Amino acid sequence: MKLKYYLTMPSIIFLLIMVVFPLIYTAMLTFCDYNLTRSRGITFVGINNYINLFFNERFWHAVSLSLYYTGLSVGISFLVGFGVALLLNSIISFRWLYSTFLLIPMVMTPIIVGLGFRFMYSPRLGIISYFLSVLGIEDANLLGNPEWALITIILTDIWQWTPFAIAVLYAGLAYIPQEPVEAARVDGASSFQILRYITVPFMKIPIVTVLVIRSMDVMRSFDKVFIMTRGGPGLSTETLSIYSWRVGFAWFKMGEASTMGIFMLIVIIGISSILLRICGSKE
Amino acid sequence: MRIKFKFFYKILAHLMLIICMVIALFPLLWIIRESFATRMVALSIPPQWIFLPTLENYKAVISGDFSDYLLNSFIITGATVCITITMATLSGYGFARYKFPYKKNMFFFTLTTRMGPPIAFALPYYIMYIRLHLLDTYLGIILIYSVYNLAFCIWLIRGFFQDIPKELDEIAMIDGCSEIGAFIRISLPLAIPGIITTAILSFIFTWNEFFYAMILTRRDTQPYTVQLPNLIGFTRIKWEEMCASAVLALIPVIALALIGRKRLVRGITFGSIK
């Protein structure tokens, strides 16, 4: 029985040292004032960081942008993904072709996606601006306009991650037993009724998986916003991950940045415990 | 009547899927197009659809220092995948075959390391690495990437081992195999496809990672993800060269994704869907 420990202990110890210890350090920093650019070192300030954060308008602005970003991106990519998965499931020929190539955006480096789209969105020179001008929208400066920048980034995010929803939901559809569907059809149920009363209930786990994994991923996503706008113009795209990076690694206010990190961690743990409850009931 | 309707439905479904596929592939194809275009062609609006492709951009990129950054990415990603997969295979087997308390908490823990906000981990690592002189070293960045991947890989590989009936190991042990022999001779070969899928996924995650690399590496060990945005100079942006660099950087991930596509879904959902 010793083998059990030889196999698992190295990883467990490694993870405990490398994950738990840094997190405890971060949690401790939330009670301290620590600016790396000053030589004063660490000073204990109690719960000041939490109080400051609570009254920080820029922080709540970032939180609201993150929620808006997450809601819109997850919602739309889920709906479109479900639609495409149903389409894929309803045909027989060329399935492999579509399902293979539809996956490509998901594995592309987010940095390259961000740069590529930034190029395509660029006014006058970009292909998307050209398409827009063909449609009659002249001089579109999508990323340079505070009203449009965030929605443009969200659209790019939807473009990249809808394939994730397609892949997961399509895989889930393959496991729906055919007997109830046939029986319902014989009884004269409409396609919509079949979808509502048979498909969706059977798809509970894939649906929850998509929603939760995508929400957590969007909440923490950094690369695309950073590369496309760096939070600008103004503060119009400054999401929580961008703002916390700015506080921590541009202003080097370690205490405040850790407070935000812990805040995000709690939010994400909240979401993942929901996933645990719903998916864990299966085992 | 019904047959006719079905026929139209099929045409419509294929049409919509083709449109989706075009939307999904267009940006990649556009990047590839730009990478073969001269500067004049690359920036011409309305776009010049037919032109003579040129390899100049690729020549410039390969002779420049971008290949050094690609090499850095290969070193970092390769080492990370080797370390993670070795450790994850051993522990994955352990967790699949033996009883452990707090099994459910492990899933939770997996999600925290993989999905936790990068800032919460990057801060303590940054401070620690300054003290330990690990900033801008291969060791430092490989270490954090291994942490980032390990829990998730253990979880996945554990699932793949669970699919192999435990009885096979037991029969081998009755026939005189040792405990470790049963693992190496029976379970391990059967789990190889799953382990390869996990390796592909951790390769893709590490290859594409940006945030930790930006904070924990400098000149010497920067992977390509950090270097690529630097091609946007102050005076002029070399789009064509950037596109050529991007194509080179995308080749490994797209190739791997196509190889592993059948099992990829299980991986990206943490095994919650089989």
Q: Give residues with Cβ within 8 angstroms of B79, minimum separation 6.
A: B138, B142
Mean pLDDT of B200-217: 92
Q: Tell me which residue of B262, B272, B241 sits closest to B67, measured CA to CA.
A: B241
Give the Cα-Cα-Cα angle B259, B261, B266 (nearest 5 degrees).
135
Q: How far is B246 from chain A (nearest CA, A)?
A: 6
* pLDDT the model gives residue A8: 83
* pLDDT the model gives residue A58: 92
Torsion of CA B253, B257, B260, B266, to 10 degrees: 110
* pLDDT the model gives residue A73: 94
* pLDDT the model gives residue A146: 85
H/E segment holding residue A44: strand A43-44
* Yes or no, beta carbons of B118 and A249 under 8 Å apart: no
Question: Is the pLDDT reported for residue A211 higher than 50?
Answer: yes
Question: Is the pLDDT reported for residue A281 higher than 70?
Answer: no
Kindly list the domain boundaries of chain A, sorted by start residue. Answer: 11-280
Across the interface, of B34, B91, B146, the residue whose CB is closest to A8 is: B91
Q: pLDDT (tens digit, 9 = 90+) per residue, B33-84?
A: 888 888 777 777 777 777 888 888 888 888 888 888 999 999 999 999 999 9
Global model pTM greater than 0.95: no
Across the interface, of B95, B120, B239, the residue whose CB is closest to A26 is: B120
* pLDDT the model gives residue B104: 67
Pairing label, strands A32-33, A43-44: antiparallel
Q: Tell me which residue of B108, B144, B115, B111 sits closest to A264, measured CA to CA.
A: B115
Query: What is the ipTM metric for this complex?
Result: 0.89
User: What chain B residue is nearest to A119 in terms of C-alpha separation?
Assistant: B239
Q: How far is CA A253 from CA A33, A263, B118, B121, B269, in A?
A: 8, 16, 16, 15, 35
Which residues in chain A are contacts of B109 at CB distance < 8 A?
15, 19
Is residue A175 a contact partner of residue A122, using CB atoms and an 8 Å limit?
no
As given in the structure block, the two tokens for residue B141 are: 């960045």
Across the interface, of A116, A248, A273, the residue whose CB is closest to B123 is: A248
Residue B43: strand, helix, or coil: coil
Q: Tell me which residue of A22, A62, A81 sits closest to A213, measured CA to CA.
A: A81
Q: Tell me which residue of A246, A252, A218 sits closest to A232, measured CA to CA.
A: A246
Class of domain A11-280: mainly alpha
Q: pLDDT (tens digit, 9 = 90+) per residue, A176-198?
A: 888 888 888 888 888 888 888 88
Q: Tell me which residue of B239, B240, B205 sits closest to B223, measured CA to CA.
A: B205
Residue where the block lists tokens 């939330």: A30
Which residues in chain A are contacts of B270 at CB distance < 8 A?
213
